[in-house]
Chains A and B, each alone.
Chain A
Amino acid sequence: MPLPTDTDVSTPKHLRDKYAIVGVGETPYTRGSGMTTRALGTWAVRNAVLDAGLTAADVDGMLSYQSGDSTFAPFIAGDLGMRLNFYMDVFGGGSSTEALMGMAMGVIEAGLCRTVVIFRAMNGYSQVRIGGTGARSAAPVSGDTLHSRAYGWQSAGQMFSFTFMRHMYDYGTTPAQVAAVRATHSAHASNNPKAYYKQRVTVEDVLASRIICKPLHLLDCCVETDNATAIIVTSAERAKDLRHPRALIRAVAGRVCKPRADMHYQAGPISTVAGRYAREILWPNAGVGPQDVDVTGSYDAFTFTTMLQLEDYGFCKKGEGGGYVSDGTIRLGGRRPNNTSGGHLCEGYTHGMNMVIENVRQLRHDVDDSCPVGPDGRRRHTYDYSEGGCRQVKSCEVTANLGWANPGTGSAMVMRRD
């Protein structure tokens, strides 16, 4: 479909490989953490600092995002005895992880600090759920929400379903093709000891589960969990002295794709999402293309958000996303596995961060699966992807993370192994 010609691909390439992710950490994925988001966040940030081989004194920047459901950076910093030179808590959705990577790079580039930790802490099951359920479902409706919630149009699934329904109409995409995303991610989760749902499901299981809002079945939707996640960014130069092989950041992009930043329903072809526009700066800046990517992490709040992004970022032709996600390509052992941890659909819902953490571990060749651990403390990967086995992708060199906040807003990041 025709697209606006206002794309700017002039953003800087001099940041390529200049920054790296050196530490990642998370808490267990539970439904009922029994602690505050502040305690969860502190735990995840501490794990990331230890993972990098750093101390609290080494971290001088902190960024977080939330949607009125979490704690703030200064509390975490205070609890861990960090003295920050820069911090920022932003209001954001699922594309914030990659966007905040860009912000972290920017504040280090500007000399405001040297090492930045990004965290997301949420009791996404036991306290504030993303879909506006619980007390929020009966909250008063006013102003702009009279154009949505007054029509019983509130949860993410309800909001995004128009996009997918129109994609089915435009391209003949089938529910079974898209259900393959869940089946695939569940197979990945079955090899992930920390996944909340480890049970493998089939396409038939997804299609037989109850309809939430067409075209979404229950098993097309992600698993809401309580957890916190954290990622540490520093210069590639400084990263050389740290514990792990560097996950070098090739490029980040964060784009609003239309003249209007609304839910994308008022303008343009609605079955085309922000990735179509973000890709125009992502790939030139990264200096690689979709064909060079070994592992993708495509935001799977729903099965179809994964498919729409993979398609619009150019991993297949427009309209062929259904075939791409169901032909074996995105499976462990396939040409380009997607969400090897099980993602939001199965591992746990972290609002975007766990897919980046997983790809960092893939690039380190150090995914924490069920393979035996050698005397050096590192796993001896078998590359056998049967149930309960390995999930490390062989020779993983380049990864892409595709973050989704809504159809009209998207952020992405490309990383490579040192």
Chain B
Amino acid sequence: MSLRVDDLDNENVAYFKHCAEHSFHLQQCGDCKLRRYPPTTACPWCMSREAGWVPVEGKGAVHSYTEVHHAIQPAFREYTPYLILLVDLDTQKGEPTADEALRVVGNLVTPDGKLAPPELVRTVGIGTRVRMVFSDVSPGLSLPQWTIDESAAQPDKPWRYPQE
């Protein structure tokens, strides 16, 4: 898979520049101060065009997931089944309403950033505590990914789809 950030896509250029340094930054609105993901060209809460980049801690819990058995992209075929996670960050959870969170996408990976093997995939579900790691995918481009947070208290049994 060839990956690139378009020069004119200023918001994504800035986001991935931080990622390349293995540092997670999100836009923060200059007016209402809410942070947002993925990068956008205005604030979805107050329409402000003013925004700055702030460091955000890459920790949270799995909000939902899908386990892909039939890969569409050729690059993922040898890794099936792989997990795509939607993670609620601890930062800004419950804001601006009780049902909101900063939800950040990523794959389940090993601590060194490789797509998780099947035995690891089978252990993760809704509620699993994860931490962010970065996968270097090409020169100057790193993707934020998620791995199990070994230092966090895990739920007794994360919620998993009932059938294997």
A133 — which chain B residues lie within 8 A by C-beta? 72
With A143-B5, A213-B68 known as contacts, the answer to whether A267 contacts B38 (CB < 8 A) is no
In Å, the complex CA distance between A146 and B103 comes to 15
With A153-B84, A266-B103 known as contacts, the answer to whether A213 contacts B126 (CB < 8 A) is no
Taking a contact as CB atoms closer than 8 A, the residue among B5, B72, B100 that contacts A146 in the complex is B5
Q: Is the CB of B1 within 8 A of A158?
A: no
Q: Is the CB of B1 within 8 A of A141?
A: yes
Q: List 15 A-B contacts (CB under 8 A).
A: A4-B97, A137-B74, A140-B1, A142-B9, A143-B5, A143-B9, A146-B16, A151-B84, A152-B79, A152-B84, A152-B107, A165-B64, A260-B40, A267-B99, A268-B100
Other A-B contacts than A140-B4, A262-B38, 11 sampled, CB-CB below 8 A, are A2-B97, A142-B5, A146-B5, A146-B16, A149-B1, A162-B64, A163-B64, A212-B70, A215-B161, A260-B40, A260-B44
State which residues 179-229 of A face B: CB under 8 Å.
207, 210-215
Closest chain A residue, CB of each to CB of B102: A266
A132 — which chain B residues lie within 8 A by C-beta? 72
Q: Is the CB of B126 within 8 A of A165?
A: yes
A388 in the interface (beta carbon within 8 A): no
- Cβ of A211 to closest chain B Cβ, rounded Å: 5
Q: State which of A45-53, A166-174, A344-352, A369-377 sits at the interface with chain B.
A: A166-174
- Cβ of A158 to closest chain B Cβ, rounded Å: 6
With A158-B68, A165-B65, A207-B163 known as contacts, the answer to whether A266 contacts B137 (CB < 8 A) is no
B99 — which chain A residues lie within 8 A by C-beta? 1-2, 267-269
Q: Is the CB of A142 within 8 A of B69?
A: no
With A140-B4, A169-B64 known as contacts, the answer to whether A266 contacts B36 (CB < 8 A) is yes
Q: Is the CB of A143 within 8 A of B12?
A: yes
Annotate A261-278 by CB proximity to B: 1 below 8 A, 0 otherwise. Answer: 010011111100000000
Residue positions of A touching B, CB distance < 8 A: 1-2, 4, 131-133, 137-138, 140-144, 146-155, 158, 161-163, 165-166, 168-169, 174-175, 207, 210-215, 259-260, 262, 265-270
A269 — which chain B residues lie within 8 A by C-beta? 99
Q: Is the CB of A270 within 8 A of B3?
A: no
Q: Is the CB of A138 within 8 A of B159?
A: no
A270 — which chain B residues lie within 8 A by C-beta? 63-64, 86
In Å, the complex CA distance between A138 and B36 comes to 29
A147 — which chain B residues lie within 8 A by C-beta? 38, 105
State which residues 41-58 of B face A: CB under 8 Å.
44-45
Q: Is the CB of A137 within 8 A of B97?
A: no
Closest chain B residue, CB of each to CB of A159: B66
A211 — which chain B residues lie within 8 A by C-beta? 67, 69-70, 81
In Å, the complex CA distance between A133 and B106 comes to 21
B65 — which chain A residues lie within 8 A by C-beta? 162, 165
Q: Is the CB of B44 within 8 A of A151?
A: no
Q: Is the CB of B105 within 8 A of A153?
A: yes
Residue positions of B touching A, CB distance < 8 A: 1-6, 9, 12, 16, 36-38, 40, 44-45, 63-76, 79, 81-82, 84, 86, 97-100, 102-103, 105-107, 126, 137, 143, 159, 161-163
B36 — which chain A residues lie within 8 A by C-beta? 266
A214 — which chain B residues lie within 8 A by C-beta? 66-67, 69, 161
B98 — which chain A residues lie within 8 A by C-beta? 2
Closest chain B residue, CB of each to CB of A210: B69
B159 — which chain A residues lie within 8 A by C-beta? 169
Taking a contact as CB atoms closer than 8 A, the residue among B63, B68, B103, B105 that contacts A148 in the complex is B105
With A142-B5, A207-B163, A259-B45 known as contacts, the answer to whether A137 contacts B73 (CB < 8 A) is yes
Q: Is the CB of A141 within 8 A of B3?
A: yes
Q: Is the CB of A213 within 8 A of B103?
A: no
In Å, the complex CA distance between A133 and B77 comes to 13
Q: Is the CB of A266 within 8 A of B2?
A: no
In Å, the complex CA distance between A165 and B63 comes to 10
A141 — which chain B residues lie within 8 A by C-beta? 1-4
A260 — which chain B residues lie within 8 A by C-beta? 40, 44
A175 — which chain B residues lie within 8 A by C-beta? 161-163
**10 A-B pairs closest in CB distance:** A161-B66, A152-B76, A162-B64, A214-B67, A166-B64, A147-B38, A213-B68, A260-B44, A140-B2, A211-B69
Q: Is the CB of A158 within 8 A of B161?
A: no
A168 — which chain B residues lie within 8 A by C-beta? 161
A152 — which chain B residues lie within 8 A by C-beta? 68, 71-73, 75-76, 79, 82, 84, 107
Q: Is the CB of A149 within 8 A of B68?
A: no
In Å, the complex CA distance between A393 and B37 comes to 47
B44 — which chain A residues lie within 8 A by C-beta? 259-260, 267
